Structure 1
Amino acid sequence: MRFPLHITTDMIKHQIRHGLKGNTRYPFVLMLEPLYTCNLACLGCSVERHTGRIEDRLTLDECLQAADDSGAPVVSLCGGEPTIYPELKGLVEGIIARKRHIYLCTNGLLLDRTVYGVVAPHNRMTINIHLDGLKQTHDQVCDREGVFEKAIEMIREGKRLGYRITTNTTIFKETDLDEVEVLCRLLREHRVDGMLLSPGYQYASVESDFFLAREEIHQKFQRVLDLSKQYRLTSTPMFLEFAAGMREYPCSPWSTVTYTPQGWRGPCYLIGEKYYRTFEEFWQSVDWDYWESRQDPRCYNCKMHSGFEASVVRGLRNSPKDMLRMAIWNFLE
């Protein structure tokens, strides 16, 4: 299976529960940012995640309350760099105790100090390591030498210790897809459990011109779609066809909600138009109809998995053919 069976069944049960209640919008994933501190300053990252101020950090209780409030079956620990968070062990254990699934998103630099041997492997935790290319490219994006080699070392060590390891690669304007294919081949040799290839997304605070326009996303993801037939990519076939310009979906910004030291980020992970103190205020205040429509100019070039994979899932009920494709993709990879 492409995803462990318990993750798949939990996601299905989550959808059934909400369907029986008549809910058409509900979170699938909580993006939880415990702190605004990072040990890197990557070129494509949002500068507000680099404050390093002690007040820009959530307490453990606030993090766990956010997991409870959202009800999302998957919690993605991001930031900042979550392996810097002092209460990481208690946070992971608290989320697992709530029977949620964790994706620990990390650059990998501190895994051997704060995770391996500290947080035990668990079938509800996946370590997701950021890799934007081979050595020269990745170190350039991270603006530091040696980051790629450390990440590969941590992948190798994590697999040896029994952790579930996946990777996340952002496709930018200058990304060489031949290099990405070599990276996929290398990661397959290291037995990673999945690879996410995602279009580069532009935060409002990042002004650099290396993000993809919509037409450039289509071009590059036609090649990614070919790679998906050879490597264990975690994006659904339908999403990859959407990214390649072969089909259209409305956005589902409510499917991936974000909690930060500033509060609940609305309307979505990428656009921080307003922050809300409580989940209820956030959920009731955001104009979901407007953001689903993608009519806002800031949405034009966005084809992020966080906004559209849930749209793929919603669309399955209208297409038995896509439903069959999804089952084959997940169960008979």
Structure 2
Amino acid sequence: MAVPISQAWTVATYVLKQKLMRRRRYPLVLMLEPLMRCNLACAGCGKIQYPAHVLKSELTPEQCFKAVEECGTPMVAIPGGEPLLHPQMPEIVAGLVARKKYVYMCTNALLLAKNLHLFKPSKYLSFSVHVDGQREHHDFAVCREGGYDIAMEGVRAAVAAGFRVTTNTTLFDGADPNSVRLHFDEMMEAGVESMMVSPGYTYDKAPDQKHFLGRARSKKLFRSILSNRKKSWRFNASPMFMEFLMGKKELTCTPWGMPTYSIFGWQKPCYLLQDGYADTFDELMESVKWSEYGTESGNPKCANCMVHSGYEASGVNYTFGSFKGMFQTVKAMLFDRYEDREATEILAGWKKTTHEMPITFIPKAQRADAVKSEEVQAVAQPVKAIAPDEMENAPGTAHEKLEGWTPELTTEAEVREAMEKAFDYRGDVTITRKDGSAVAGYLYDRQYGAAFKDCFVRIIPTGKQTKETIPYAQIGSITFTGKDTAAGKTFENWVKRYWEKKAAGEQNIQIEPEYLGD
């Protein structure tokens, strides 16, 4: 089996209990983020772009245990950031294992081999290693040469030491399905217990804004990868989620299925979107307007999402929601080859992209001419609305340059707009109250209501571990004083520098994570 029988039984009885209690919304896996800092700066990741003082912040073991007790899920995933950078991670993991929670510690494995002695093998602990494909593709995805070899060293060391090891593969536009299938072979040969695979989310803070998969292309890609499966492949995902990726099953998003707790609190509404924070799990479940999220809601931030954290719980919920769901799941488990002649043809005709050839950079003059041409066409031809399931590529986000800006705050509408921009900004701001007092720090939350008096922001002051609440009505001015950590580190610039350094004979080239200072 892809997971131990004891784990499958624990999860099944937990879900059945929720069904018997007629709970419409229930958590399945707690996404516990004890820190945000990382030792990689992956092209498609939008989770680690924060000021240095935020990246230095960590949850204590006690805070982690409290969140687990609040949530009550049988499984806990520990992403980040890189969990192995947390000095108390062994204590956190040991505490969760003692509580008989099935723990998946997500890691890029750069530090895994040298830290294995700090952990004990257990059926409750699995190292979920981030491996994005074969060597070349993985190294480009994580923007670090040699990353694959280090990660696989950690995988083999953990397997040899008797630990449960799974892998987590995230795919973006440019992924070669033939290479991904070979990657599956390599992971099975390395002795991993099972694999998880998912399309990447369109993080608007990620360095690479040009390689997000649209739903149509995702389904085509995963159909070609997951059809005609080899018997040796084992996946750590529900059969219904796998069919969803292949375009064989329609599921609706369950954002509450994998709630997230971090240094900011309980994240609204899910692991992927940051639309505010709650102080308790109950507040999270009660305060979020769930109908405003998910592809079916029409929310543009959810339009292209097919990610595991949004739909794995949906697959499990579908299985236990009816006899039909259970029958289809059992059938999928017994007949898991998914023979598909057309999928074989897709594989044979897939146009492979390569990282061996540098990107061609168009001179500015030519780019200007191209922009003018596009503008003329845009005026001449009306824009056609495209349904999410018809999109081949998901559009990225153009970052607004706000650093150094002091907006006018003469009306309530201007204050509301400025606070929304500040909430989205990945740098420090300085707020001056109407009484003349000022606070500089990271504005991590804003709560808005119909009445202006009910609106407030929450900020982590620079150099402090405390959090301050400031009502909108008290704000006299705001200046975007800190560096925007989500701007400037574009994937295109890195590729250009990569080939320049490669030509100069350099090795182990990478995008450097945010400098935290001394």
Q: Does 1:296 align with 2:293?
A: no
Alignment partner for residue 331 of structure 2, among 309, 313, 325?
325
Alignment partner for residue 316 of structure 2, among 313, 318, 322?
313
Alignment partner for residue 249 of structure 1, among 223, 248, 251?
251
What is the rounded CA distance, in whole Å, between the counterparts of 1:177 and 1:211 in structure 2?
A: 16
TM-score (structure 2 length as normaliser): 0.61
> Which residue is 2:416 aligned to?
none
Q: Does 1:240 align with 2:246?
A: no
| Gap runs ≥5 in structure 1 | none
What is the rounded CA distance, in whole Å, between the counterparts of 1:326 and 1:259 in structure 2?
A: 33
CA contact (8 A) 1:100 1:124 kept: yes
Q: Residues 97 and 149 of structure 1: is their aligned pair in 2 closer, same or farther, counting only changes over 3 Å?
A: same
Q: What is the DSSP-based 3-state SS (H/G/I as helix, E as strand, rest coil) of the residue aligned with 2:259?
A: strand
- Which is helix-richer, 1 or 2? 1
Q: What is the DSSP-based 3-state SS (H/G/I as helix, E as strand, rest coil) of the residue aligned with 1:325?
A: helix
Please report how far the alpha carbon of residue 247 of structure 1 lies from its aligned counterpart in structure 2 after TM superposition.
Answer: 2.2
> Which residue is 1:127 aligned to?
127
Please report how far the alpha carbon of residue 117 of structure 1 lies from its aligned counterpart in structure 2 after TM superposition.
Answer: 1.0
> Which residue is 2:82 aligned to?
81
What is the rounded CA distance, in whole Å, between the counterparts of 2:259 and 2:81 in structure 1?
A: 17
CA contact (8 A) 1:31 1:258 kept: yes
Correspondence 1:216-235 to 2 at 5 A: 216-226=217-227, 228-230=229-231, 231-235=233-237
> Which residue is 2:111 aligned to?
110
What are the Cα deviations for residues 171-200 of structure 1, in whole angstroms up to 9, with x where unaligned? Answer: 110111111111111111111101111111
Please report how far the alpha carbon of residue 102 of structure 1 lies from its aligned counterpart in structure 2 after TM superposition.
Answer: 0.3
What is the rounded CA distance, in whole Å, between the counterparts of 2:330 and 2:6 in structure 1?
A: 20
> Which residue is 2:216 aligned to?
215
What is the rounded CA distance, in whole Å, between the counterparts of 2:219 and 2:329 in structure 1?
A: 23
> Which residue is 1:5 aligned to?
5
> Which residue is 1:271 aligned to?
273
Identity %: 36
What is the rounded CA distance, in whole Å, between the counterparts of 1:211 and 1:179 in structure 2?
A: 18
Q: Residues 271 and 27 of structure 1: is their aligned pair in 2 closer, same or farther, counting only changes over 3 Å?
A: same
Q: Residues 47 and 27 of structure 1: is their aligned pair in 2 closer, same or farther, counting only changes over 3 Å?
A: closer
Q: Residues 286 and 98 of structure 1: is their aligned pair in 2 closer, same or farther, counting only changes over 3 Å?
A: same
What is the rounded CA distance, in whole Å, between the counterparts of 1:252 and 1:281 in structure 2?
A: 17
TM-score (structure 1 length as normaliser): 0.93
Please report how far the alpha carbon of residue 11 of structure 1 lies from its aligned counterpart in structure 2 after TM superposition.
Answer: 0.4
| Gap runs ≥5 in structure 2 | 337-518
Larger gyration radius, structure 1 or structure 2: 2
Please report how far the alpha carbon of residue 329 of structure 1 lies from its aligned counterpart in structure 2 after TM superposition.
Answer: 7.1
Q: Could you say what the CA RMSD is over the residues aligned between the two structures, in angstroms?
A: 1.9
Greater mean alpha carbon deviation, residues 103-112 or residues 224-233: 224-233
Please report how far the alpha carbon of residue 113 of structure 1 lies from its aligned counterpart in structure 2 after TM superposition.
Answer: 2.6
What are the Cα deviations for residues 237-264 of structure 1, in whole angstroms up to 9, with x where unaligned? Answer: 3222212222211111110000111111
> Which residue is 1:286 aligned to?
288
Please report how far the alpha carbon of residue 55 of structure 1 lies from its aligned counterpart in structure 2 after TM superposition.
Answer: 5.2
